[in-house]
Amino acid sequence: MAYTEKKPEEAAPRLNSGKGSFRSGLSRRNRVWMCMFAPVLVYFIVFKYAPMAGYLIAFKQYNFTDGVFGSPWTGWDNYRMLFSDPTSLQTIRNTLVISLLSVFVGFPFPILLAIMFNEIRRVWFKKSVQTLLYLPHFLSWVIVGGLVVTIFSQETGIINQWVERLTGEPFPFLYREGSWLAVFLGSGVWKNAGFGAIIYLAALSSIDPSLYESSAIDGAGKWRQIWHITLPGIRSTIVLMLILSMGNVMEVGFDQVYVLQNATVSRIADVISTYVYRLGLQGMQFSLTTAMGLFESLVGLILVVTANRIARRFGQQLW
């Protein structure tokens, strides 16, 4: 609180003495800012950077008594084990398949929704549809998983009531690999598409309306306007979002898989995050699963950097 009150006689000469006093004011403010930032710096070192040192145990045989630094080194042994074990290889493959599918299936929907919202003129309709479509983003995966399991349940689920009426018998949506994957991807789209559209709507609002007017005078129809004005207008946002989603490719959210998976589909549904949780935290295999985690993070980092490189070539880079 020492900096909050400034007496007038102290402040007065400062106004007259030019640049030097600006400097001293700045350095005084700098001290306040440093005091503010200090706890944040401690937080980032302890909770963000110290765990990175924990990656060391990927190359060690970790045990609790010796700790991260005392445990014996084992070199690449953990990786040799990971890449020779069919289960962990399958897990890596599942992660890639599920996440690539999630990115490419999920990516167009927010763009489509944004373009469609943009063409609606009735405010009440737009408002109420947006309210409903943004809502799933705020529901936890436990709720969405509960909804999915309830709706697709074989005995009492509402979808299977209709399927039974049409085909005579219920379909085990969540217990066949193909349909499970479809339900999984669909639930991801359902939860995220609406909210994802907001960012594109922001980009659309910055397109000059006169472009539409002049193209309409030149006789361009709605489809041509969307193709030649709307889409190019949000191109940089699309590229940006694509780069960001590349960073998440290796990171299939734990919650979504965990709440939707079951023993019948575990062959295709076990991903790195559930593998690390099950083997690492429940099975106490810290070193092996950390090796897996480090692999996941590094591939993610390489993907983002590469995507940014490519985007830079088109002048759309993130950094």
Partner 1 sequence: MKATLGEKWFYGLNYVILTLAALSCLLPILNIFALSFSDSNSILNGSVNIWPKGFNLEAYETLISGTPIVRAFMNSLLITVAGVAFSLLFTILAAYPLSRRGFTGRRVLTLMIVFTMLFNGGLIPNYLVVNGLGLVNTYWALWLPALVSAFNMMIMKNYFENLPDEIEEAARMDGCGEIRLILRIVLPLSLPMLATIALFYAVYFWNAFLQVMIYIQDTRLLNMTVLVQNMIRSQSMMQFINNVQPEDMQAIAPESVKSAGIVVMIIPLMLVYPFLQKYFVKGVMIGAVKG
What is the smallest separation between the CB atom of 62 and partner 1, expressed in angstroms?
8
What is the smallest separation between the CB atom of 18 and partner 1, expressed in angstroms?
15
Which residue, 98 or 203, has its beta carbon nearer to partner 1?
A: 203
What is the smallest separation between the CB atom of 282 and partner 1, expressed in angstroms?
10
What is the smallest separation between the CB atom of 89 and partner 1, expressed in angstroms?
19
What is the smallest separation between the CB atom of 151 and partner 1, expressed in angstroms?
6
Q: What is the DSSP letter of 71?
A: S
Question: Taking the mean position of all CA atoms in its chain, how far away is CA 154?
Answer: 32
Which residue, 138 or 168, has its beta carbon nearer to partner 1?
A: 138
Q: Which two tokens stand for residue 70?
A: 């005392």
What is the smallest separation between the CB atom of 83 and partner 1, expressed in angstroms?
18
What is the smallest separation between the CB atom of 248 and partner 1, expressed in angstroms?
11
What is the smallest separation between the CB atom of 167 and partner 1, expressed in angstroms?
15
Helical pair 286-313 and 235-247, crossing angle rounded to 10 deg: 160
Q: Which two tokens stand for residue 22?
A: 């600006």
Helices (H), 18-57: 19-44, 50-53
Which residue, 106 or 145, has its beta carbon nearer to partner 1?
A: 145
What is the smallest separation between the CB atom of 199 and partner 1, expressed in angstroms?
4
Separation of alpha carbons 277 and 282, rounded Å: 7
What are the two backbone dihedrals, phi and then psi, of residue 23, each rounded to the nearest 5 degrees?
Answer: -55, -50
The torsion region of residue 173 among left (phi > 0), alpha (psi -120 to 50) and beta comes to: alpha
CA dist 280 → 56, 73, 229, 272 (Å): 15, 19, 51, 11
Which residue, 216 or 231, has its beta carbon nearer to partner 1?
A: 216
Which residue, 128 or 264, has its beta carbon nearer to partner 1?
A: 128
Q: What is the DSSP letter of 73?
A: B
- In which element (H, E) is residue 163 found? helix 158-167
What are the two backbone dihedrals, phi and then psi, of residue 155, each rounded to the nearest 5 degrees?
Answer: -85, -50
Which residue, 101 or 147, has its beta carbon nearer to partner 1?
A: 147
Helical pair 86-106 and 177-204, crossing angle rounded to 10 deg: 40
Which residue, 87 or 262, has its beta carbon nearer to partner 1?
A: 262
Query: Which is nearest to 98 in space by CA: 275, 271, 244?
Result: 271
Separation of alpha carbons 69 and 73, rounded Å: 9
Separation of alpha carbons 253 and 187, rounded Å: 13
Which residue, 97 or 151, has its beta carbon nearer to partner 1?
A: 151
Which residue, 179 or 297, has its beta carbon nearer to partner 1?
A: 297
Separation of alpha carbons 212 and 230, rounded Å: 9
